[in-house]
Amino acid sequence: MIGSLGVTRSDLRLRRTSLILWFVAVTVLVAGIAAIYPTVRSNPSLDSIYGDLSPTVQALLGGASLTSPSGYLNTQLFAFFLPAVLLVFAIGRGASSIAGEEEDRTLDLLLAQPLARGRLYAEKALAVLIGVVTLIVGSVVGVVALRQPADLTLPYVNLVAVCVQMGLMCAALGLGAQAVAAASGRRVVGIAASAGYTFVSYIVYGLSATVHPLSYVRPFTLWRWYLGGDPLTSGFGIEELLVLAGVCIAMVAVGTQAFRRRDLHA
């Protein structure tokens, strides 16, 4: 039963070309940005320009220094750009995983088979997760391959840690999009909910560094659990991993319940 995973395999097969292209694009993107580091490092005037920005903007951009390896990777890649790229993938895949098939009218035929709805939901969530993991591998490959040549003097484990925590955040938001879309039967509702939360929580997370009252809501932003422990300089955070993984599981649980109770659109 568990061994077959027919839905997961079929979903991955259906989208394998697109996933391969995403993998290549993310790997090249990450490697490309890492490769530019030597030219930035040799230009300290960038730091003084960056230092003139307000602390809030600095926080939103991901840190204080632009020319240190961790400062460069944070500001250029991990604080916004790369998670944004991965979120486009994760939220899109999550929202279309169930609701997309329902809107395209292919879900009936899939569910006419002897599959429990909860099983279908979980297998589709696994396919979304495998997609995100593939892009995490692409990110790790890109940044680790350029670590030596670009002189990014950071421990390997920290590079992996930031990629994994980023991936878990994106997975949680993609699975959130799947849950909302599957509960409503509409792809756009899932995308709007997840992307809206992502954007608002990103702003709140950035502002919370300087606007004190916002520090209370900081734990409710997933960005806090991705970047708050500064994985590029400190490596994996156990608490961070647990929270992000917990949110992923909770999203699948909530989405499954909602999807099992609902009438499917014709």
For binding to another protein (CB under 8 A), which residues are involved? 4, 6-7, 9-10, 13-14, 104-106, 108-116, 263-264, 266
In the complex with another protein, which residue's Cβ is closer, 233 or 257?
Answer: 257
In the complex with another protein, which residue's Cβ is closer, 114 or 213?
Answer: 114
Structural contact between residues 107 and 120, judged by C-beta atoms closer than 8 angstroms: no
- In angstroms, give the least distance from the CB of 115 to another protein: 5
Q: How far apart are CA 69 and CA 216, in angstroms?
A: 30
In the complex with another protein, which residue's Cβ is closer, 10 or 67?
Answer: 10
Q: How far apart are CA 120 and CA 95, in angstroms?
A: 15
In the complex with another protein, which residue's Cβ is closer, 138 or 185?
Answer: 185
- In angstroms, give the least distance from the CB of 43 to another protein: 47
- In angstroms, give the least distance from the CB of 41 to another protein: 45
What the block records as the tokens of 26 is: 């993310």
3-state secondary structure 50-116: HHCCCHHHHHHHCCCCCCCHHHHHHHHHHCCHHHHHHHHHHHHHHHHHHHHHHHCCCHHHHHCCCCC
